[in-house]
Amino acid sequence: MNTPGRWRMLVTAANRQPAVAAYVRGAGDAAFRPFALIVLSPEEGLLAATDAFVAPDLFATFGLAASPGR
């Protein structure tokens, strides 16, 4: 999971909170695919919590691309 170049992250928002769309590329794959939507919960200027939704079908719901591009 920690191989360099395996992940792409795109900044987005979900439910009026900052979020990150995480895309993963499997071993031997050329393309990245949706993996998880990670919602950040800031509080008083600090990161209070993160919630990861490993549900690739959510990407379309939030208007996210099927691929992060280059």
**pLDDT higher than 90, residue 12:** yes
**Stretch 25-33: mean pLDDT:** 89
Question: Number of folded domains in the chain?
Answer: 1
Other CB atoms closer than 10 Å to residue 68's CB: what's the count?
18
Q: Is residue 40 part of a domain?
A: yes
Would residue 67 count as lying in a domain? Answer: no
Is residue 17 in some structural domain? yes
- At 42, is the pLDDT very low, low, confident or very high (cuts 50, 70, 90)? very high
- The pair phi, psi for residue 61, each rounded to 5°, is -60, -35
pLDDT bucket at 1, cuts 50 / 70 / 90: low
Give the residue with greater pLDDT, 28 vs 46. 46
User: For strand 7-14 and strand 17-24, is the pairing parallel, antiparallel, or unpaired?
Assistant: antiparallel
Assess if residue 37 is contained within a domain: yes
Would you say how long the chain is, in residues? 70
- Is residue 1 included in any domain, yes or no? no
> Looking at the domain assignment, is residue 69 inside a domain?
no
Domain range spanning residue 16? 7-61
In this prediction, residue 70 carries a pLDDT of 66
